[in-house]
Amino acid sequence: MTAVDNLWYLADEADQQAERTYHRLQSAHADVTGFTKTRWVSRPRFRTIAQRIGDNGLPYGSHVLVTRDSGDLLLVRHRDVDMWVLPGGEVDGSETFESAARRELIEEAGIPATFEGLALLGRVEFHGDGHTTWGVLPIYEGSADATDLSVEDPDGEIVDARWFDTLPDDTRDRSVLQSWRED
């Protein structure tokens, strides 16, 4: 007897959820800048990502671009990817995407911010073992209400937080952030 692989089904369900989420965010934030990223992942990682996207449309959760008065951008150092990234992460339960970004900002950098809306709306396409799916990456924009940083990440994934006037070479999605800064 042959086992039926349901990966195609998970990918299809993820696509449908991503479509609903993307259109909901796009209609609420009509002037938001969009971008597309492509990732090739292993079969087990593809399964995990498709399951996450199926929950709420987001493979990586909700993130935030935070600046201070000088224009410096806040980035956090992610232990597992060994790169500077935007603060953000998974959406818990009935939490809104914006609430998740606020919570993650406090956990990962120890500061609150005044949010100004959605800055970027990403489409992240995933390819793995002959399957494809995609998910939404909402990135909110905010101004720091405080500037003294303190990492209190309960997951232990974030090991540092710093302000940058220029993006470090090892910044994840550097080109997307550079484009945003130029606008």
Mean pLDDT (the chain, rounded): 94
In the chain the domains, ranked by start, together with CATH numbers, are: 7-182 (3.90.79.10)
CB 102 within 8 A of CB 115: yes
Nearest to 36 by CA among 112, 161, 132: 132
> Distance (Å, rounded) from C-alpha 8 to C-alpha 63?
28
Block residue for tokens 């796009």: 26
Checking if the pLDDT of 11 tops 80, the result is yes
The model's pLDDT over 68-111, given as tens digits with 9 standing for 90+, comes to 999 999 999 999 999 999 999 999 988 999 999 999 999 999 99
- Non-local CB neighbours of 48 within 8 Å, separated by 6+ positions: none
